[in-house]
C-alpha cells in the first residue's frame, strides 16, 4: 500500500472498573463494548478496531483488545477472566496499561510482575484532578520509566489526549496490511454484541450479586431488512434471583428489556423486537462444565 500501512493487536489492560471499555467506545465513536459502573462487567476479551491516520499520513488498523480487569479471586468465573486478560497480553503486539489518576502505583507494579510486554502507560480521569495532583502522580511513576515506552495522561470524558494516544500507539505497530475489513469496528458477530448489550442492561438495572451470577443466551435471532427479532434467556443461579430479575408486576424485566432494546436499535440502525425470559441454572458460574456451556472455556 502506498505510504505503508500498519496493523497490530493492542491489549488494553488495567484493574477492574478503571474505564477501559468506556475509552474504547469513545475511540470507536460507538458504544459496542459493555460498560457498567460495577467492577468486572467485562468477562471475555473482544477485538475493537480503530482506523487511524498518523501525522505523517501513514494509515493504521489498531485492533484494541478489550479485556477483563486484572484481579485475583478464587471464584471459577474470575479465574477464567484473568486467563482471558493474560491471553490477550501474550498474543498482542503492544499493551496499553490504564491507571486511574487517583490509583496507587500498586496496580501497575502487579502488572509489571506478570509480563515483560512492551507497553504504554496511560493515566486516566485527569479531568478529576488538579494540575498539581497530575504532576505528582506522573512523578510517582518515574521509578518505572525504564519499563514503559511512554506515559500519557488522558481524559475519556473530556477527550483529552485521545488522538495523541492513537498517535503513540500507531508509532509502535508493525508494518502490515490490515488484518480485517477496513469498514468494520469489531470482528464479533451481531449476535454476540446483542448478548453483551442485554447483559449490560442487567448490570445497570440490578444490584448486589445478581449481575455477577447472571448471564445471557441468545436462543433465536432473526434478521431482516427492517426488523431484527431477538429471543434471549437471562440465567441466574437461584429462584430468589429470578423473582428479583422479573420484579413486581414484571416491572424490572420490562425495564431491562426496554433499555437493552433501545441500545440494540442504535447498534443495528433498525427496529428490534426483543423477548426476554428468565431461567434458573443452579451454580452455573461455579462448575467448569456449566461455564463451558455459557462460552467460558478454560481449554481454549
pLDDT at 156 over 80: yes
Residue with cell 470524558: 157
One CATH from 3.80.30.20, 3.30.465.10, 1.10.10.10, 3.30.300.20 for 190-293: 3.30.300.20
pLDDT at 72 over 80: no
Average pLDDT in the chain: 93
Whether this model's pTM surpasses 0.85: yes
Q: Where in the chain is the domain with CATH 3.40.50.300?
A: 5-171
pLDDT at 1 over 50: no
Q: Which of the residue ranges 153-162, 252-261, 290-299 would you say has the lowest mean pLDDT?
A: 290-299
Q: What is the pLDDT of residue 28?
A: 92
Question: What's the rounded mean pLDDT across residues 15-29?
Answer: 91
Q: Where in the chain is the domain with CATH 3.30.300.20?
A: 190-293
Could you read off the pLDDT of 131-145 as tens digits, one per residue? 999 999 999 999 999
**Considering the chain, what percentage of its residues have pLDDT values greater than 70?**
99
Going by pLDDT thresholds of 50, 70 and 90, the confidence category of residue 300 is low
pLDDT at 152 over 80: yes
The CATH code that applies to domain 5-171 is: 3.40.50.300
Amino acid at each position: 500500500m502506498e505510504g505503508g500501512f500498519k496493523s497490530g493487536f493492542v491489549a488494553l489492560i488495567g484493574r477492574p472498573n478503571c474505564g477501559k471499555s468506556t475509552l474504547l467506545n469513545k475511540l470507536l465513536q460507538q458504544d459496542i463494548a459493555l460498560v457498567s459502573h460495577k467492577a468486572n462487567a467485562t468477562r471475555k476479551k473482544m477485538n475493537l478496531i480503530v482506523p487511524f491516520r498518523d501525522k505523517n499520513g501513514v494509515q493504521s488498523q489498531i485492533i484494541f483488545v478489550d479485556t477483563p480487569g486484572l484481579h485475583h479471586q478464587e471464584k471459577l468465573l474470575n479465574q477464567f477472566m484473568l486467563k482471558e486478560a493474560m491471553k490477550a497480553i501474550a498474543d498482542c503486539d503492544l499493551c496499553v496499561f490504564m491507571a486511574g489518576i487517583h490509583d496507587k502505583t500498586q496496580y501497575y507494579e502487579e502488572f509489571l510482575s506478570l509480563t515483560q510486554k512492551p507497553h504504554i502507560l496511560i493515566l486516566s480521569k485527569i479531568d478529576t484532578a488538579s494540575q498539581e495532583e497530575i504532576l505528582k502522580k506522573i512523578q510517582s511513576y518515574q521509578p518505572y520509566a525504564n519499563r514503559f515506552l511512554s506515559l500519557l495522561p488522558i481524559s475519556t470524558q473530556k477527550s483529552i489526549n485521545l488522538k495523541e494516544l492513537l498517535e503513540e500507539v500507531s508509532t509502535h505497530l508493525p508494518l502490515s496490511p490490515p488484518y480485517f475489513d477496513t469498514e468494520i469496528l469489531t470482528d464479533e458477530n451481531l449476535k454476540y454484541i446483542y448478548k453483551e448489550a442485554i447483559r449490560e442492561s442487567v448490570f445497570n438495572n440490578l444490584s448486589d450479586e445478581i449481575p455477577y451470577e447472571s448471564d445471557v443466551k441468545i436462543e433465536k435471532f432473526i434478521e431482516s431488512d427492517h426488523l431484527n427479532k431477538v429471543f434471549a434467556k437471562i440465567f441466574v443461579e437461584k429462584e430468589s434471583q429470578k423473582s428479583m430479575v422479573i420484579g413486581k408486576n414484571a416491572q424490572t424485566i420490562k425495564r431491562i428489556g426496554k433499555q437493552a432494546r433501545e441500545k440494540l436499535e442504535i447498534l443495528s440502525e433498525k427496529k428490534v423486537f426483543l423477548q426476554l425470559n428468565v431461567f434458573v441454572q443452579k451454580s452455573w458460574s461455579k462448575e467448569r462444565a456449566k461455564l463451558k456451556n455459557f462460552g467460558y472455556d478454560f481449554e481454549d
